[in-house]
């Protein structure tokens, strides 16, 4: 599936210049063939040729513009080099093959197939230290990662090359929307994530003894790839459900929430403004009562 997308993208980018070149040559050839024709006709041809040139120019500009923005919304193909894939294969054979099999087909009783999970899922699992899994359970817990960033991307490239699936977003891409999208991000977070991760992203227990973890340590790319791959009990949020732009808004919101140092005083567990008001109300009333009693006692 991703290979097709890859081909499409290449087709779009690769074709634009070729069309311009060919037609450009055709434009030169045409007046030569019409040398015998009367002047008026040649003028018309020239005019038509120049409007054709303008059209081609415009199309090229549009194509060029597309080429410039296309990679920012697309997948990251830059990691898919043969060196990365080969290095990833080595790492996979050393650390993953016993549970996931030589062709990612899985090993009964040890690990599931990871055909089609894609580079996004591998990045999430390996960069959060969940994979390689310990021999006995607890793979759902975040741990100190065993591989560095480069090795993680190599593993991701290898698994992607064998089985396809949802790809990592371009590494250079800004995955965090700006402050103008905080409102939208907050709304999307409350709608899609808060039911499991809690309103403040601090994590919460789920049924059957599972937990939705605290998002405090998650990086932008880990959040993005978590949404793309839906680890364990978490649903997959594909791009047709939550667009890449909306994913950026959610990430911007969560990171801003983590970074804010509770302006206005103590966080009171982030239960919100009601709590602060209530606190002032009760403490204030208490002080008032004590003063009344004190005044009464003095009289």
The contact set with ligand HEC (CB under 6 A) reads 95-96, 98-100, 110-112, 114, 117, 121-122, 125-126, 128, 131-133, 135, 139-140, 142, 155, 192-193, 195-197, 206, 210, 212-213, 215, 217-218, 222-223, 226-227, 229, 231-235, 237, 250
Which two tokens mark 207? 């049924």
Distance from C-alpha of 156 to C-alpha of 139, rounded to nearest angstrom? 18
d(CA 80, CA 122): 14
Q: Cα angle vertex 20, ends 16, 23, to 5°? A: 135
Q: Minimal CA–CA distance to 176: which of 113, 64, 255?
A: 255
Residue 114 burial (CB count, 10 A): 23
Q: How far is the CB of 130 from ligand HEC (least distance, A)?
A: 6
CA distance 130 to 133: 6
Residue showing tokens 């480069």? 150
Half-sphere exposure of 211 (CA within 13 A, CB side): 13
What distance in Å separates the CA atoms of residue 154 and residue 151, rounded to the nearest whole number? Answer: 5
Which residues have a Cβ under 8 Å from the Cβ of 105 and sit 6 or more positions away? 113, 115
Q: Which residues contact 295 (CB under 8 A, 6 or more apart)?
A: none
Where helices occur in the chain by DSSP H, the ranges are 2-33, 39-73, 82-95, 97-100, 118-127, 149-163, 182-192, 194-197, 220-229, 244-259, 273-298
């Amino acid at each position: 599936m991703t290979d097709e997308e890859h081909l499409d993208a290449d087709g779009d980018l690769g074709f634009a210049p070729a069309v311009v070149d060919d037609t450009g040559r055709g434009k030169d050839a045409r007046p030569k063939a019409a040398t015998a024709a009367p002047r008026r006709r040649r003028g018309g041809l020239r005019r038509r040729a120049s409007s054709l040139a303008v059209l081609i120019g415009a199309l090229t500009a549009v194509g060029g513009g597309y080429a410039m923005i296309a990679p920012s919304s697309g997948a990251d193909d830059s990691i898919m080099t043969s060196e990365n894939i080969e290095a990833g294969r080595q790492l996979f054979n050393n650390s993953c093959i016993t549970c996931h099999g030589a062709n990612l087909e899985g090993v009964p009783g040890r690990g599931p197939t990871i055909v089609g999970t894609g580079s996004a899922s591998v990045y999430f699992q390996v960069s959060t230290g969940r994979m390689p899994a310990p021999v006995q359970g607890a793979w759902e817990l975040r741990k100190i990662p065993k591989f560095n960033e480069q090795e993680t991307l190599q593993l991701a490239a290898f698994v992607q090359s064998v089985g396809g699936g949802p790809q990592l977003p371009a590494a250079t891409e800004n995955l965090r929307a700006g402050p103008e999208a905080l409102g939208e991000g907050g709304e999307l977070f409350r709608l899609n994530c808060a039911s499991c991760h809690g309103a403040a992203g601090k994590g919460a227990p789920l049924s059957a003894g599972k937990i939705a973890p605290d998002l405090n340590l998650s990086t932008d790319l880990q959040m993005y790839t978590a949404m793309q791959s839906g680890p364990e009990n978490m649903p997959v949020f594909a791009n047709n459900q939550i667009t890449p732009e909306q994913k950026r808004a959610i990430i911007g919101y969560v990171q801003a929430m983590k970074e804010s140092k509770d302006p206005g005083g103590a966080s009171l567990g982030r239960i919100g403004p009601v709590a602060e008001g209530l606190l002032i109300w009760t403490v204030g009333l208490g002080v008032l009562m004590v003063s009344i009693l004190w005044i009464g006692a003095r009289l």
